């Protein structure tokens, strides 16, 4: 069987150039070459094996992660990988580890909030991993409400030191990854207190463990917070708990780029704008959007390939049964997710551009686009992670019973992914922030202040409030402008309706609280519009390769029309479209599936994932599912013995009716 | 702290008699007394401890399950528990085990399909657990399509035996619970072949393992299929793989109630109606609906109590922050789930009645209601399990980061629950069956054939096609008849619209396949109507207890109106209600939340779950969340040592820049 490609007939059906689509997905030829090379490097190295992860005990699992992280770093040094290559390598190792926080949060926090001197000192150490850092913000009692953190950093002018303290149980740091067992240092957030005055939450670099024997330093209590969702999954990470008993650190370990405490204990703001901090958030959330497209595309690859392998019902005259991917219900569940993966990829790419743009403007002291960029990344983080979390689970269901086996790869993918809805901002809290931005934008419309960036469409609000869709035939829904106008009109009308309701409250905070459920819906409509419009913009670019653009056009329509169907209540109740037009949109959607169908397997091949990265028997490139599932089963520890441990004590006495005397 | 009730102030707010509500939830005073007594019995017995489940390795976990199962059976014997009490005990032990399949599938299958003699022989053994049975239908290659099973049972008239064989890899039995390591016998489904003729799939009782040494009998290969989703969770179960190499069983081990093979090898049908088989399905699926209400209510209990404990933002003048349950977005996510738990409970109760009714009719040779009962239970199984699976995950998100910890109880609840969407019929396949039934009902309307049971409303199709809702104010949506008519009209119109589209196809099978995505939506609308109408019917009964009925009325409205909002596209596109009316419905829904809010904690107290059964620190009855979370963390195996295993090999060389020489 080895060497056979059970999906060859599917691949032959493709009507486009898969290699060119790989370039589009990767972002550039360079990015594709890089991903391809590094992913193969990881896949071919047995040290990075991960198929045994779900049967390891917590301790074995964790030790194994330490080994992989060290080995990865060793390879990075040996092969003299660039920063970009090293990041890709960690990505393809595909195992949450303390290094994620070190590189993804600790280093960026110092970069964003540290002075030049601080950066010089600490980043030099961090880049060589002579210290390992974590990011400790959340506490047992406070996550979303960062301003409510209870840890204190009190300046002692006599000693020129801060005293870091955990005054209550709920002030214990709780959740930071890498903290529990590994980090030597952390960026710790605490309320800055000078001379009895509370200046709110600031960041401090605190050494946590001895660089000699790794023991926590005096006054510091640290541990792991325990098992998390799933086997394998995020349990490779040592999310930790941390308490400070009046721990002293030098004054220069406060991150002082934005504000300082002087030798005398005076609190002063630097002339660096505070908004800089938002730049980091825009950066981190943009990476989360890109990660969403990765996680989603992975799950979709598994579900698509397996749906092409799996046959059930519909055999005629003893011929083969129907591939389940041919069932319209399966397509109606799967293809919109495939389209979403591409949509999230392109909006992620655009966010990368946005981040660069914002950064350049900040350097030129132009803060005008920052609030909009901030709202937009918050909203897109929320939208893409919520959809992806649900979608991975849907992909599991699309695989029937076999999707429930760890060997399908989907259980770990779900368990490791779902917290993305919570970390870096709870998704509902984020949508409420977007709503605040939108309500402000609407309220400023009469003043003539032009809304910018992704809210620019609000500038045409008068038109959008009364326009009517001119769709008459199903095919009309394939026109980008028709779709765009419908999404713009729906979003604008929902925002305006909220603003009007809001105006009826004398206390606007009370009104906001009262109306929050519909405000969240308006935010979502706005965010969906962004994704749709960025997909459409992408298609206005020159995209080479036979048939590539046509496929993307079909996927763009699938993406937009499935949203339109799912939220048809919004479109209808705002009068944006008529019931007849909604029905035509769904007709068009269903007929698009037939266009996607022959290309489905090739469209997931274009993600260019190795079997190692996918980690799924159901998603194997060669489709050789059944023999491999069968083989894999026998590796379970329970199969080491034919008669299971416990039989003689518990089962035999039961069968022999001798339980009465058994010691259980 | 011990003994303090942090939720006392919440409990004092309740505007109804919680004890009476407990009776309503349990179904009767007797049922409440029983549940209460048995759940306390289990909770107070340390042998049933389950808080360590998520850190056990597969082998430890499984052995522990065997111990509990044996111990439970010992207690059942010692305490001379009735069948009803024993079932409750297994329920509160709350750990999937081989006994579930023995009692829940093996015994019912023999009861339903065995002759009196066969029942006499096998049930006697099974009731005493002298044999342990499993239910082996699904194969590696076939699940949903039972008629496509490949295992063969060929009659050999010379020996008066059947030869059971697995002709292909895909014919391996795959998934049956209890099979992998424990079952001594199984009801095995195989294609019956006599004299070269294939009579389709039938059930056979096959001994799998020796009753002496537990080794698989000659010709039989068995193993466990490996790890499944989640830690703890369903990994306590030995779902198995099974292959037969021409295994012989006596002729009388074919289940012969409906059809027989004679000594001569002739295949004959008995005069017992085939439809009897459906009776078993109605039974099993009804229990699944009740289980959905249990799983959902458990998750809702955790999320509700924790939402009342958790405070975030909104502190004024240094006072306490806002309880997150007071945020309208939180209410908008949580309260409809609370209402759904009650809704599923009542529809489950009604299904129990339906099953009894169908059984009595069958005994009187009245098969008239069977197809409708079958469609209705299939649809309700699909609806309730899909919603519950999503809802448990939503409850996890409602608990923010802490919901992701195993100590919250939610991860295990999710992982153990989600396969309910797949087993006993894939939820989409089931909705397609409902659609077939609906399309048939619609097509028979012109003939004057009165639709029965839950489709009776179709009899008023002419009225329902043209009626208009007369809602003018938000409060109008509180009237049961108004709601009912809207749901009936929407369901009827969606079915009729499908039927009309179907009629345009010359080949109706092709049309059905083509239209399946909208057919599934019509089925769902029909099933939602059933749940809403059974909730309304429940409220027409006499319900004693101060305030109890008022609370249920509010919940019923929340249930119906949240569905109406969620699916407003359906209601609007079918012209059932106007945009204005949809908006009023949502206004009413939001204002109902204020009625539910003070009663929320008491409404989950009414489920009467012990802390043992809930298995959640966030859901503790006393709300003493933070100290217990903190305590629990330290129990993780990683916290056995301060410096983790692997530090010296992997982390120290990294920090000391000595990786080059390290052996990794
Ligand atoms: C896997 C994982 C890794 C993490 N890693 C780190 C890390 O490395 N470092 C670190 O510092 N932290 C980390 N965290 C913590 C994470 O940042 C927080 O969990 C997150 O910020 C959410 O906060 P919370 O848990 O307090 O949720 P809560 O705020 O308690 O949310 C509970 C519920 O209340 C609702 N809610 C809260 N406020 C409002 C409001 N104003 N209006 C309406 N509803 C509201 C939420 O929507 C939610 O439903 C991690 C968490 C996880 C799960
Ligand atoms: C935890 C667990 C316990 C189980 N226990 C048992 C047990 O004790 N005994 C036993 O015999 N079995 C058991 N099973 C097996 C279970 O009954 C099957 O998994 C179930 O019947 C679904 O079948 P499948 O896995 O073949 O899914 P498939 O039919 O392969 O489904 C795959 C996809 O195809 C779609 N699909 C299939 N047919 C159609 C169609 N006609 N039209 C449209 N879409 C279609 C489905 O919707 C799904 O999306 C168990 C399974 C699990 C997960």
What CATH number did the domain enclosing A262 receive? 2.40.110.10
Task: Give the single-character DSSP code of A221.
Answer: E
Among A424, A509, A550, A553, the one annotated catalytic: A424
Instruction: Name the average pLDDT for chain A.
Output: 96
Contacts of B332 in chain A (CB under 8 A): 516-517
User: Residue A481: which residues within 8 A CB-CB, separation 6 or more?
Assistant: none
Q: Is residue B533 part of a domain?
A: yes
Query: Which listed ligand is nearest to A512 at the C-alpha?
Result: 1
Q: What is the pLDDT of residue B664?
A: 81
DSSP conformation letters of A554-617: HHHHHHHHHHHHHTHHHHHHTTSS-HHHHHHHHHHHHHHHHHHGGGHHHHHHTT---HHHH--S
Q: What tens digit of pLDDT does each residue of B598-644 get?
A: 999 999 999 999 999 999 999 999 999 999 999 999 999 999 999 99
Q: Are residues A291 and A150 in the same domain?
A: no
Q: Are residues B283 and B180 in the same domain?
A: no
Q: Is residue B522 part of a domain?
A: yes
Question: What band does A316 get if pLDDT is binned at 50, 70 and 90?
Answer: confident
Contacts of B77 in chain A (CB under 8 A): 659-660
Active site residues of B: 424
User: Is the separation of the CB atoms in A98 and A182 below 8 Å?
Assistant: yes
Q: Are residues B410 and B490 in the same domain?
A: yes
Q: Which residues pair with A228 in a beta bridge?
A: B405
Verify whether the Cβ–Cβ distance A57 to B170 is below 8 Å: no
| Mean pLDDT, residues B532-561 taken together | 98
- Ligand 1, from A235, A429, A512: best to mutate by most atoms within 8 Å of Cβ? A429
Q: Which residue shows structure tokens 């193993």?
A: B223
Query: What distance in Å separates the CA atoms of residue B429 and residue B423, rounded to the nearest whole number?
Result: 11
Q: Is residue B512 part of a domain?
A: yes
Structure tokens at B507: 């080949």
Q: Tell me, rounded to whole angstroms, the distance of Cα A398 from its chain centroid.
A: 22
Instruction: Name the average pLDDT for chain B.
Output: 96
Query: What distance in Å separates the CA atoms of residue B109 and residue B118, rounded to the nearest whole number?
Result: 11
| Mean pLDDT, residues B651-661 taken together | 92
Q: What is the pLDDT of residue A1?
A: 44
Measured from the Cβ of residue B152, the count of other Cβ atoms closer than 10 Å reads 19
Contacts of A517 in chain B (CB under 8 A): 328-329, 332, 590
Contacts of A73 in chain B (CB under 8 A): 654, 659
Measured from the Cβ of residue B272, the count of other Cβ atoms closer than 10 Å reads 15
Which of B557, B579, B605 represents a domain boundary (last residue)?
Answer: B605
User: Is the separation of the CB atoms in A449 and A432 below 8 Å?
Assistant: no
Verify whether the Cβ–Cβ distance B639 to A224 is below 8 Å: yes
- CA B427 to centroid of ligand 2, rounded, Å: 9
Query: What distance in Å separates the CA atoms of residue B406 and residue B414, rounded to the nearest whole number?
Result: 11
- CA A59 to centroid of ligand 1, rounded, Å: 27
Query: CATH number, domain at A509?
Result: 1.20.140.10
Q: Is residue A82 part of a domain?
A: no
Strands A185-194 and A133-136: parallel
Q: Is residue A601 part of a domain?
A: yes
Atom number in ligand 2 closest to CA A312? 38
Question: What spatial distance separates the first Cα and last Cα of chain B, rounded to whole Å?
Answer: 48
Task: Give the single-character DSSP code of A199.
Answer: E
Q: Are residues B442 and B588 in the same domain?
A: yes
Question: What band does A368 get if pLDDT is binned at 50, 70 and 90?
Answer: confident
ipTM: 0.98
- CA B401 to centroid of ligand 1, rounded, Å: 5
Which of B561, B582, B605 represents a domain boundary (last residue)?
Answer: B605
Q: What residue in B sits closest to A216 (Cα-Cα)?
A: B642
User: Is the separation of the CB atoms in A650 and B67 below 8 Å?
Assistant: yes
Q: Are residues A471 and A522 in the same domain?
A: yes
Q: Are residues A150 and A292 in the same domain?
A: no
Question: What band does A2 get if pLDDT is binned at 50, 70 and 90?
Answer: low
Which of B605, B622, B655 represents a domain boundary (last residue)?
Answer: B605
| Continuous segment of H or E residues that includes residue A304 | helix A276-309
Q: Is residue A399 part of a domain?
A: yes
Collapsed DSSP state (helix, strand, coil) of residue A193: strand
| Mean pLDDT, residues B308-312 taken together | 97
Atom number in ligand 2 closest to CA B177? 8
CA dihedral (A603, A605, A607, A612) positive or negative: positive
Distances (CA, A) of B445 to A434, B431, B449, B497: 51, 21, 6, 14
Give B356's Cβ-side CA count (13 Å radius). Answer: 6
Whether the pLDDT of residue B193 is over 80: the answer is yes
| Surface-to-core class of residue B631, CB atoms within 10 Å of its CB (0-12 exposed, 13-18 middle, 19+ buried) | exposed
User: Is the separation of the CB atoms in A396 and A418 below 8 Å?
Assistant: no
Is the minimum distance from the CB of A225 to ligand 1 under 6 angstroms? no
DSSP conformation letters of B305-333: HHHHH-B-S---TT-PPPBGGGSHHHHHH
Q: Are residues B401 and B543 in the same domain?
A: yes
Whether the pLDDT of residue A277 is over 80: the answer is no
Question: What band does B365 get if pLDDT is binned at 50, 70 and 90?
Answer: confident
Whether the pLDDT of residue A616 is over 90: the answer is yes
- CA B426 to centroid of ligand 2, rounded, Å: 5
Q: What is the pLDDT of residue A562?
A: 98
User: Residue A656: which residues within 8 A CB-CB, separation 6 or more?
Assistant: none
Q: Are residues A469 and A397 in the same domain?
A: yes
CA dihedral (B172, B177, B183, B185) positive or negative: negative
Domain hosting residue B337, numbered range: 278-605
CA trace torsion A229, A231, A233, A234 (10° rounding): 50
Verify whether the Cβ–Cβ distance A145 to B169 is below 8 Å: no
Q: Is residue A638 part of a domain?
A: no
Q: Are residues A245 and A283 in the same domain?
A: no
Q: Tell me, rounded to whole angstroms, the distance of Cα B344 from its chain centroid.
A: 11
Whether the pLDDT of residue B1 is over 70: the answer is no
Which range (A337-341, B3-7, B11-15, B522-526) has the least confidence? B3-7
User: Is the separation of the CB atoms in B74 and B90 below 8 Å?
Assistant: no
User: How many domains is chain B partitioned into structurally?
Assistant: 2
Task: Give the single-character DSSP code of B460.
Answer: G
Q: Is residue B304 part of a domain?
A: yes
Q: What tens digit of pLDDT does each residue of B201-222 get?
A: 999 999 999 999 999 999 999 9
Q: Are residues B250 and B300 in the same domain?
A: no
| Mean pLDDT, residues B224-244 taken together | 98
CA proximity to B423, closest of A194, A441, A20, A400: A400
User: Is the separation of the CB atoms in B572 and B555 below 8 Å?
Assistant: no
Rg (CA), chain B: 27
DSSP conformation letters of B411-443: HHHHHHHGGGGTTTS-HHHHHHHHHHHHHHHHH
| Surface-to-core class of residue B89, CB atoms within 10 Å of its CB (0-12 exposed, 13-18 middle, 19+ buried) | buried
Strands A152-156 and A161-165: antiparallel
Q: Are residues B410 and B476 in the same domain?
A: yes
Q: Are residues B316 and B435 in the same domain?
A: yes
The H-assigned helical ranges of B267-407 are 276-309, 328-363, 370-398
Verify whether the Cβ–Cβ distance A63 to B653 is below 8 Å: no
Rg (CA), chain A: 27
DSSP conformation letters of B528-563: HHHHHHHHHHHHHS---STTHHHHHHHHHHHHHHHH
Structure tokens at A375: 């709202």
A349 labelled catalytic: no
């Amino acid at each position: 069987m080895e060497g056979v490609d059970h999906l060859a007939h599917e691949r032959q059906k493709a009507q486009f150039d898969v290699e060119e689509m790989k370039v589009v997905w990767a972002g550039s030829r360079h990015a594709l070459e890089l991903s391809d090379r590094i992913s193969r490097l990881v896949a071919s190295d047995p040290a990075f094996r991960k198929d045994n992860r779900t049967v390891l005990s917590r301790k074995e699992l964790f030790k194994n992660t330490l080994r992989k992280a060290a080995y990865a770093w060793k390879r990075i040094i040996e092969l003299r990988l660039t920063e970009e290559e090293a990041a890709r390598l960690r990505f393809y190792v595909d195992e949450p580890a303390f290094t994620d926080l070190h590189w993804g949060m600790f280093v960026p926090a110092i970069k964003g909030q540290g002075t030049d001197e601080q950066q010089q000192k600490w980043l030099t150490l961090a880049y060589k991993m002579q210290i390992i850092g974590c990011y400790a913000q959340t506490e047992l009692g406070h996550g979303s409400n960062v301003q409510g953190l209870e840890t204190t950093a009190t300046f002692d002018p006599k000693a020129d030191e801060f005293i870091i303290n955990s005054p209550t149980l709920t002030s214990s740091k709780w959740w930071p990854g890498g903290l529990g067992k590994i980090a030597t240092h952390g960026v710790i957030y605490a309320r800055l207190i000078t001379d009895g005055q509370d200046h709110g939450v600031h960041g401090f670099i605190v050494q946590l463990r001895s660089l000699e024997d790794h023991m926590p330093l005096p006054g510091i209590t640290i541990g792991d917070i325990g098992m998390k969702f799933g086997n394998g999954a995020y349990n490779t990470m040592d999310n930790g708990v941390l308490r400070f008993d009046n721990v002293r650190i030098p004054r220069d370990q406060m991150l002082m780029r934005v504000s300082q405490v002087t030798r005398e204990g005076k609190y002063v703001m630097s002339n660096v704008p505070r908004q800089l901090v938002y730049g980091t958030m825009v950066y981190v959330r943009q990476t989360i959007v890109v990660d969403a497209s990765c996680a989603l595309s992975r799950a979709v690859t598994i579900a698509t390939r397996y749906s092409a392998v799996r046959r059930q019902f519909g055999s005629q005259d003893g011929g083969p049964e129907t591939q389940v991917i041919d069932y319209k219900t399966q397509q109606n569940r799967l293809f919109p997710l495939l389209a979403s993966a591409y949509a999230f990829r392109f909006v992620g790419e655009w966010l990368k551009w946005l981040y660069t743009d914002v950064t350049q403007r900040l350097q030129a002291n132009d803060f005008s686009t920052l609030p909009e960029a901030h709202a937009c990344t918050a909203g897109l983080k929320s939208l893409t992670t919520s959809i992806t979390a649900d979608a991975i689970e849907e992909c599991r269901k699309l695989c029937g019973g076999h999707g429930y086996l760890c060997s399908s790869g989907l259980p770990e993918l779900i368990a490791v992914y779902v917290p993305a809805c919570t970390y870096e901002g709870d998704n509902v809290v984020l949508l409420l922030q977007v709503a605040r931005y939108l309500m402000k934008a609407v309220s400023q419309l009469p003043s003539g202040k032009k809304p910018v960036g992704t809210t620019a469409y609000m500038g045409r609000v008068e038109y959008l409030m009364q326009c009517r869709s001119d769709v008459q035939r199903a095919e009309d829904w394939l026109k980008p402008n028709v779709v765009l106008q419908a999404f713009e009109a729906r979003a604008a009308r929902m925002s305006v309706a909220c603003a009007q309701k809001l105006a009826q409250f004398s206390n606007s905070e009370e009104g906001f609280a009262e109306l929050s459920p519909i405000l969240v819906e308006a935010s979502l409509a706005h965010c969906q519009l962004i994704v749709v419009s960025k997909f459409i913009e992408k298609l206005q670019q020159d995209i080479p390769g036979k048939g590539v653009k046509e496929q993307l056009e079909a996927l763009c329509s699938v993406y937009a029309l499935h949203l339109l169907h799912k939220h048809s209540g919004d479109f209808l109740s705002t009068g944006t479209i008529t019931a007849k037009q909604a029905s035509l949109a769904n007709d068009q959607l269903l007929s698009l599936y037939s266009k996607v169908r022959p290309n489905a397997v090739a469209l997931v091949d274009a993600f260019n994932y190795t079997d190692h990265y996918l980690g799924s028997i159901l998603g194997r490139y060669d489709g050789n599912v059944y023999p491999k599932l069968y083989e894999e089963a026998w590796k379970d520890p329970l199969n080491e013995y034919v008669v299971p441990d416990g039989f003689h004590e518990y089962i035999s006495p039961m069968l022999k009716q001798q339980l009465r005397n058994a010691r259980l």
